[in-house]
Structure 1
């Protein structure tokens, strides 16, 4: 089976980093992805889809250090669905993208290269789950998180 998400959008809120009881870093942020369409005989419309993105370990640390609200990024990962019972007794659901790769697409201020930490070569700042290209996904204690 295939479970793969590829999205390009604008970061909706600054990343929030936490640590699991085992000490694994986990960072989450929202991503707005716009879609434009024109209904028959109508004006051009814009529709925005919001995604929650979660990154683990070194990728979490990289996202926390360099991703900011409004930044345009590419995220590659898998879709995960969570459910829980709220304080009102109703079951709630949330879909999130577990990121394997994050690439910064915004041009840096005052420079000719694209995103990424200072000192990175121009042409993209792509980071995998281990902080490099590729690597392990989330740790095994991911299901024990309180959020």
Structure 2
């Protein structure tokens, strides 16, 4: 049997970090993933998938992911159910992620993110489009 999912999409809101009574970190967020085809009017349909991460990965996601950030998620599909207050059985389908990749650089405030209008001195390509002065002897070819 195989239960494996790979998704690339954008977060619809900032992640939510919680801890179980025993102290295990749990992070949840929703990923908006475009379908590979368009509707008759040329619009793309989007699926909104609930993502769950646990332990260290949960804390990392909570610290670095923000609304709108492009992210890759690898994990498995899980369906759980519970009985609500009205006595009805409710089914929840979610992706339990075991690998999350941040596909865009984090460019903002104190969490290592750059403020708009400021230069990142660590980025050698921060002068976008301007010529770079390199001597021929510095080239490896």
User: TM-score w.r.t. structure 1 length?
Assistant: 0.69
2:72 and 2:36 mapped to 1: Cα distance? Answer: 18
Partner residue in 1 for 2:2: 2
- Cα distance in 2 between the residues matched to 1:72 and 1:38: 20
Partner Cα separation in structure 1 for residue 31 and residue 56 of structure 2: 20
Query: Residue 103 of structure 1 corresponds to which residue in structure 2?
Result: 101
**Are positions 1:54 and 2:52 aligned together?**
yes
Aligned-residue offset at 1:36: 4.4
1:23-38 to structure 2, matched below 5 A, reads 23-38=23-38
SS at match of 1:55: strand
Question: Larger radius of gyration, structure 1 or 2?
Answer: 2
Equivalent position of 1:88 in the other structure = 86
Residue in structure 2 matched with residue 13 of structure 1 by the alignment: 13
Is contact 1:75–1:99 with CA below 8 Å preserved after alignment? yes
Q: How many residues align?
A: 113
1:60-118 per-residue CA deviation (whole Å, 9 max, x = no partner) reads: 010010000110100000111011122222221111111111001123438xxxxxx74
Task: Could you tell me which runs of 5 or more consecutive residues in structure 1 were left unpaired when the two chains were aligned.
Answer: 111-116, 123-147
**2: CA distance, partners of 1:43 / 1:9:** 22
Q: Secondary structure at the match of 1:79?
A: strand
